Amino acid sequence: MGCATSHPLLPFNPCCLCSLGLNLCCSCVNSHNLKSLDLNGVTQFMEKLEQKKERKDVRIVVMVGAGISVSAGVPDFRSMTTGIYQNKMDKYSLPTPQHMFDIDYFISDQGPFYDFVKTELYPKSSTLPTVFHHFMNLLQEKKMLSRIYTQNIDMLERLAGIPQEIICEVHGTLSTSSCANCKKQCDGFTTMRRIRKGEKPTCEKCGGPQKPDIVFFGEKMPRKVQEQMKLDMPDLKKCDLLIVAGTSLAVQPFASFIDAVPRSTPRIFINRDSDGSGRNGEYDDPGGQHLWGKCGNYRDVLLRGDCDKVVTNICRDLGWLAELQSKIKTFADLHKKKGSTNVEEKLFPTQMGERRGSKTAWGAIGSTSSKERLDARRSNASEKVRRKSSGKLKKSESERSMNRNGGSISPSHRRKLSKSNSNSSLTSVGSAAVHP
Ligand code: OAD
Ligand code: ZN
């Protein structure tokens, strides 16, 4: 099966010939830049994109899941040996592990979730961005990244310094919280702090339970995500390259985003165990399924392995390794200097600033303050000087650890999405999130 693009002048589907390597249909012609469906093909394509950016905008979209935070010590959901659904839910006697994130269950009993927040969910001061997060930030600094769609609620993208305006937190965030009953918003930091202290925070207005603004089963997607989807996700529509990493693609509508990119856009899937077939492969949209491993595949590349290692290899092949290492080192140095408050100040800046009656030390959530940028530039400059003089980088702790995102979501596709609640894997667009 190929891209099934018909050609007005040909009496047959030209994609049949693409599978023979002739690349005649529009999609395949446009994407034959992907010389091979492997790491080499990916890096060659990225190299071209880097050259192209001098002349026109380059738009890489990255879609990520729990797997990119695993090396930061945050467990994913579905890995058999380490995933939280298999390994961390027994003590709560829930009907199913997923009930931990079910809104009806939460309203009836906040105990399990609050305990889970206390013991597992809260980003601890030791939870720091991974190599993959820094790689995304590097792409952003190179002006090649247009959007990150993240299912993660750990806010490590923000902490890595990636500007908030390009991050779309599809499953919400811990940075704010609201009343599960009347939806009145309240201070996210205070809610988290009270839960951690063993309290059950309630709404000032109606007395309902406070819940961090992360999307639960049976809850609507965040307004921002709904608005982006109404606009047919322009970032995805114009995307030059889609990188999907560390997700099982088991949850909708997130998994369907991969179908919103043009059919000529190469899609890279980086994953340690899964090949993404856990996603709901029910739609018959010809572009509706990934093509890796299938006959006629012309654009999908499965790079199996640890995402930190895979992007390190990509950077090495692109000649970006020193920049990536320098970025990680700069972050590590800053973090060491500022200590653990760094994490809380950066994730909850408004609240921290208000509490002190002073301006926040970090500016907008997730954005890099000018002081921080200055520090980073100085550190980069001195790093370059040092590299020149020593000929090689001294290995820091973080460097040592390295050795270790045209179709849109069409109306018909949307209708399918809203109908398709089977496998309980779907959230209809703008409606409740249901997780498998
Ligand atoms: P999953 O746990 O379903 O998938 C994580 C994927 O990352 C798995 O396929 C792993 O094989 C892979 N993985 C783990 N470590 C990796 C590593 N170091 N390098 C590369 N790949 C690695 O997590 P998500 O797909 O993010 O929603 O789950 C989606 C949603 O399901 C979550 O956002 C969560 C859950 O219900 C909420 O609860 C709000
Ligand atoms: Zn309330």
Q: For residue 248, which of 270, 266, 221 has the smallest C-alpha distance?
A: 270
Mean pLDDT by 10 residues, the chain (436 residues): 49 55 49 81 96 90 96 91 88 91 94 89 76 98 95 92 92 89 87 90 94 89 73 82 93 85 92 71 43 77 95 97 95 76 53 35 29 44 44 32 30 35 29 31
Confirm or reject: Cβ of 272 under 6 Å from ligand 1.
yes
Residue 240: what pLDDT? 95
Residue 272: what pLDDT? 93
142 token code pair: 């190179």
The active-site residue out of 171, 335, 413, 435 is 171
Q: Which of 284, 300, 321 is a domain's end point?
A: 321
The edge-to-edge listing of strands for the beta sheet with 172-179 is: 185-187, 172-179, 210-214
Q: 135 and 57 in one domain? A: yes
Q: 143 and 273 in one domain? A: yes
| 303 domain-assigned | yes
Q: Which ligand is nearest to the CA of 66?
A: 1
Return d(Cα 48, Cα 109) in angstroms, integer: 54
Confirm or reject: Cβ of 66 under 6 Å from ligand 1.
yes
Residue 104, by phi and psi: left (phi above 0), alpha (psi -120 to 50) or beta? alpha
Confirm or reject: Cβ of 271 under 6 Å from ligand 1.
yes
What is the extent of the structural domain holding 98? 75-122+172-214
- Please state the pTM of the whole predicted model: 0.76
Q: 232 and 158 in one domain? A: yes
Q: Which of 214, 246, 275 is a domain's end point?
A: 214
Residue 335: what pLDDT? 81
Confirm or reject: Cβ of 273 under 6 Å from ligand 1.
yes
Question: Which contiguous run of DSSP H or E holds residue 49?
Answer: helix 39-52
Q: 151 and 44 in one domain? A: yes
Q: Which amino acid is at 209?
A: P
203 has binding-site annotation: yes
Please state the φ and ψ torsions of residue 286, each to the nearest 5 degrees.
Answer: -55, -30
Confirm or reject: Cβ of 214 under 6 Å from ligand 1.
yes
Hey, how many other C-beta atoms are within 10 angstroms of the C-beta on 393? 15
In the reported structure, the alpha carbon of residue 76 is separated from the centroid of ligand 1 by a whole-number distance in angstroms of 5
15 has binding-site annotation: no
Residue 388: what pLDDT? 43
| 261 domain-assigned | yes
398 token code pair: 């973080």
| 18 domain-assigned | no
Q: For residue 129, which of 148, 107, 146, 142 has the smallest C-alpha distance?
A: 148
Q: 207 and 79 in one domain? A: yes
Q: 183 and 87 in one domain? A: yes
Mutate to test the pocket of ligand 1, among 64, 69, 76 (most ligand atoms within 8 A of CB): 76
296 token code pair: 């006629």
Domain total in the chain = 3
CATH number at residue 200: 3.30.1600.10
CATH number at residue 154: 3.40.50.1220
Q: For residue 320, which of 49, 35, 66, 31 has the smallest C-alpha distance?
A: 49
Q: 159 and 178 in one domain? A: no
Q: 190 and 259 in one domain? A: no
Q: 245 and 283 in one domain? A: yes
Residue 232, by phi and psi: left (phi above 0), alpha (psi -120 to 50) or beta? left
| 341 domain-assigned | no
Residue 124: what pLDDT? 67
Residue 81: what pLDDT? 86
Q: Which of 152, 181, 214 is a domain's end point?
A: 214
Q: 186 and 287 in one domain? A: no
| 281 domain-assigned | yes
| 296 domain-assigned | yes
Residue 82: what pLDDT? 86
Q: 237 and 157 in one domain? A: yes
89 token code pair: 């839910």
Catalytic annotation on 290? Answer: no
CA torsion, points 276, 281, 286, 292, in degrees to nearest 10?
20
Q: 118 and 134 in one domain? A: no
| 345 domain-assigned | no
Return d(Cα 244, Cα 26) in angstroms, integer: 24
Q: Which ligand is nearest to the CA of 209?
A: 2
| 219 domain-assigned | no
Return d(Cα 78, Cα 85) in angstroms, integer: 6
